[in-house]
Structure 1
Amino acid sequence: MLTSTLLAFVSALRSAGVGVGPSSVIDAAASLSVVDLLDRRSVRAALAATLIKDPSSLAIFDRLFEVFFAAGSHQDPSVAEEALFDSIRDALLDEDWERLGELVGQAVERFGGVSSERPVSGVYYAYRTSRALDLDRLRFELLAGLASRSDNEAASAFDDPEYQAGQRLHELSSLIDREVLARVVEARGAEEVARTLGLHLPEDTEIMHASREELRELRRIITPLAVKLTAKLERRHRDKSAGRLDFRATIRRSLSTGGVPLEPITRNDRPMRPEVVLLADVSGSVASFARFTMQLLFALSRELRGLRSFAFIDEVDEVTELLGGGRDIETALRDVAQSAKVVGLVGHSDYGATFRHFNERYGDSISASTTLIICGDARSNYHDPEEMQFRSFAERAKATYWLNPEPQGYWDTGDSALASYRPWCAAVVECRTLRQLERFVEQVL
């Protein structure tokens, strides 16, 4: 039973994008044989230590651990429904967490209405329980109780009744969520619940549809991602620049050893760093994706021979200086949004007009050594795509790549003009997440 639960847990972790190898699974199974299986904290610590190699995966691990190793609270059926509110308030005031867990178990049983026949998430059941308990009233009475027990002014902000009430109510909400999850798992099974959670690592978040919290997390991980990519590119350039046999020098030296090449001589070539021109659509639909692309490439700029960036909507403007100079990237990107002249007469995406203006003003920035990257969804609001303007500078580049943040099934539908530009691109790449963007940069640069 425990082995099957562990394997199902590992399968759910892998489905969420967490890398767990066979040796880690063996180590996890071995660790469970030396810990107290009735102590959830020990079990969690053992599994986290053996299965998780990257701290960014811990949030997913914790969520799935609660699913596969759910533990509901014991109930205290002796408390009448009308006395449940007062009992929970008193337990919060006394910080009696064990007692509170028993009361929360009864509250979820009475008010949650958890059922395997309802295709709803645990959030619904938690909301029903919280509404029945009237958290606003509970907060008011909790504040009154804390104030009456405080003899003097708070010694610190942590002793303030407002802060204390907020912390204890947060603990109550966490207990409700945990209790609801345990009952949903009991009703539907852990594997089914894990599938409905839709968990994924931040780098697998679809940028165009990310919530505010997800965008904040993406901003947090973009710098470590750039550092990792920089190290990979440095190793690649170093490996490519060393180790070529200098045949003539080796033969010349071998004359001193009777023609036997005892000391081969290698030639260290200068690494060929790419020259990149980025042309990014910063209209509302794809602005977030363009932002992360510019941020990542500028973080990698020292591994490039040259990087020039252009932003556009229906006008195009160079933003290289706004982003460069070692400035804070957040401030620089705000300046791009506020200062760059990217809006023309129309005010919404017009790829044809953009490519015409780019060709007229900045066409000389494209040469045979340039890697051109277009970042956008190619949705031109039914304007003339002017594909010959695009062709005239795309053909001059060493290679032209188009990064599209839309799913591939949406390409060439509606007002998409991608089909007009595809023939002159080395590749059109679906790039909806940071992981896909990382993979592109690693392969192309």
Structure 2
Amino acid sequence: MSPGRNGTESGAPLAAASDHVRDELVRFVRALRRAGVAVPANAGVTAGRALADVGLDDPDRVRVALRASLVADATDRPTFDRLFEAFWRRLAAGPDTADAAGWTDDGPEGGLASFGAEPAAGEGGAQDDENEADETVAERHVGAVIGRETTASDADGDGATTARYSPNGRRTAVSAAHASHEFGTAFDTLTESLATLSGRRWRGGGDERPDVRRALRASVATGGTVVEVPRRRRARSELRACLLVDVSRSVLDVVDRSFLLEFLRRAHEAWREARVFFFDDDLREVTSAFDASDERALDALSRAEAEWGGGTRIGGSLARLHERASDAVSRDSVVFVVSDGLEMGDVETLEREAAWLSRRARAVFWLNPLAVSPEYEPTARGMAAALPYLDGLFAFAGPDDLAELARQLDRRGHHGRIGYEYDPRRVEATHERRHTA
């Protein structure tokens, strides 16, 4: 009996069948990654859509569709084929009998052992799983594709350590304190770049550029002869910023939270004005949480994670900003949006509000934790809708990403060709991958 018919012929609810497919697909993706297969960052979404398109009646069609979605390197095909057989048997067993079919399983987070995949080098096996959240970004994305919104049931740990998830599923424990020298240097460099963005006024002095206007005005007194060419440099201004942080599960499962909180704290401390907003299915200003101790900021993040969970509505949240706190954005301010671009609401609303931000702000930068992957492409519908209105889309995972943003701004300005696609780390990784293919 095909897995597509099992749920309906046995009278099981359709929702249970969808949950079963979703869970098994998530386990399959994890098993591949544990076995060392280089599964692309957004492959879970692509695989979910592929299943919806081809159906579940023909295992050969499912195999071809999932292999095209999940395998980027031809050398990984034998591993895929081996693990697919176990995946299909579990899928065919149905939601009520999968565990009785001889496969040990302790839920979506611990079900990898069922597939017989050995952890890849550097993976910690069961010890690593203790640091995992109850629901990962892969589950959230796949759940969105097959029509089931997922919610978090518990908060992540006690704040002493947190699980850092990279886009390809690898994870390492990180300390809650991220105030390293490397971070401080990168943040100061970014602050300098933002404070001298193109369009800000110039003043005399320095040794950066010749001041042609002043030279011509001075030449009037000498009969048109230019005696000296004054120099000018861009004046530093006190930076204003609006920081909009997506606190949906799909983001918090990926981003290094200690790095995120340190970035927000330093911005609030170092810049003239830095208003901070958390959003998921609504928007809330949390600027005051960064006035005092780090514990207040961490508490604000934990509360937002626990109270929300209905799916990210980026456009609706930006509309709330427009309606309730439009003064947070001005022609002198820089807007940062920290999000993976997974929109569960109206895309037209997102486009309209992104256009408003673009018209009103000095610059709009989107910081996406998933963009650290060389395979990343902005194909999520929210990300694709917002992209035309951004000055740049950048990776956001650590100090190196802040330094790269500053480097590109210094070289090309915010009106130049900047963004994740011009990151030399991505270009080099792509070249190496093609060379070894």
> What is the TM-score when the length of structure 2 is the normalising length?
0.43
Per residue, is there more helix in 1 or in 2?
A: 1
Structure in which a larger fraction of residues adopt strand: 2
**Greater RCO structure (CA 8 Å; 6+ sep):** 2
Q: What's the TM-score, normalizing by structure 1?
A: 0.43
Greater C-alpha Rg: 1
